[in-house]
Amino acid sequence: MAGSIFGTLFRISTFGESHGKGLGVIIDGCPAGIPIDEDFIQHELDRRRPGQSKIVTQRKEADTVQLLSGVFEGKSTGMPIGMIIMNSDARSHDYSHIADKFRPSHADYTFQAKYGTRDYRGGGRSSARETAARVAAGAIAKLFLQAHGISVFAYVSQVGNLQLSKSYEDIDLGLIESNPVRCPDPALAAEMETLIKAVRKDGDTIGGVVSAVVFGCPPGLGEPVFDKLHADLAKAVLSINACKGFEYGSGFAGVTMRGSEHNDAFYQDGGVVKTRTNHSGGIQGGISNGMPIYFRAAFKPVATIVQDQESVNEAGEAVTVAGKGRHDPCVLPRAVPIVEAMTALVLADHLLRQRSVGI
């Protein structure tokens, strides 16, 4: 139970380090009979892949997935689905200069404190490279959700101070993939791209916000008390590297509202119960109510910068950490498929959990 297993019924287990031989995931609990499109899994990995554009890290990885089990004649069998992604461009020598130094705001110090050892090459297991396994698993979850009419979208809604002011209702989700930033407002996306390039030129990094929306989720998903749907989504999303905050529905902005404004009035529309507003973010009492689910996730500027920084080494001595190595000036564009993957995994899990509630 070292924290690399996620989910209850649609459960994944992952392994792999940034500069080890490879990464992988096992999905235990994928239902039988789901058409498994391997190209789609690869497509999702390609959206997360390094080197996909000029505003992300230039590490060269094909991130080719091999599916080893659990699929027979094109469909899932109900058996564990094992997938591996071998590493190719693992320049371990790049990291010898920081072997005994703790990079500021990285996990070097905390890993050392926790385990008494660490694989320092590229951050080892603490590298966001780990998320490739999540995206592969999330692709399978998406295929399962798709069979139930549920779709998950994420997009970049803020980079630094550049903020998309529109809600999920007012944007064209078809434009998300139209630009390397993955912001569905092309004009704003262009500004964001310019900003990211400027930041990279400074050897610096910048944060932002990913917004997500889920359509087609039936009422009834999520559990009362601890395993509320939004609580599980929060954990899932905050487990992604660099994520610092999560809010759903009205979120932090809702705290200044009165109950009489914030409450979402119910009405009936063609036999379906709906709400006039959606401050609840599609979730009430921890359970989906059939309205779109939406949330926002804050990502800090990534810690790897090309500037010298003050730090200490394993002996506790003051040292300078030299800025070096490939990195993402802004993690947001690549965070989009990861947020989608984690969201899909939570929904797939709760879709299965929901089956056990009635006689």
Q: What is the dihedral of CA 281, 283, 288, 294, to 10 degrees?
A: 30
DSSP state letters, 34-55: EE--HHHHHHHHHHH-TTSSTT
Phi, psi of 262 (to 5 degrees): -80, -35
Dist CA 18 CA 88 (whole Å) = 10
Residue 143, H or E segment: helix 131-146
- Where does this chain touch its own copies (CB under 8 A) — which range of 3-11, 39-47, 169-177, 178-186? 3-11
Q: Enumerate residues 168-197 that contact its own copies by CB under 8 A.
A: none
CB nearer to its own copies: pick between 6 and 168: 6
What pairs with residue 321 in β-bridges? 309
Cβ distance to its own copies smaller for residue 24 or 333: 24
165 binds its own copies (CB under 8 A): no
* Paired sense of beta strands 5-6 and 71-72, if any: unpaired
Q: Tokens 């995206």 sit at which residue?
A: 135
Size of the site for its own copies (CB under 8 A): 155
Within positions 262 to 281, which residues make up the interface with its own copies, using CB under 8 A? 262-268, 271, 273, 275-276, 279-281
Min dist CB 358 to its own copies, Å, is: 5
Give yes or no for residue 155 binding its own copies (CB under 8 A). Answer: no
Q: Map the footprint of its own copies across residues 10-49, applying CB under 8 A.
A: 11, 13-17, 20-24, 26, 28-34
From the centroid of its chain, how far is CA 18?
17
Site string for its own copies, 283-312 (x = CB under 8 A): xxxxxxxx-------xxxxxxxx-x-xxxx
CB of 54 to its own copies, least distance (A): 18
**Near its own copies by CB under 8 A: residue from 36, 55, 164, 209:** 209
- Cβ-Cβ contacts under 8 Å for 268 (sequence gap 6 or more): 274
Is residue 254 near its own copies by the rule CB under 8 A? yes
Q: Which of 82, 216, 292, 325 binds its own copies (CB under 8 A)?
A: 82
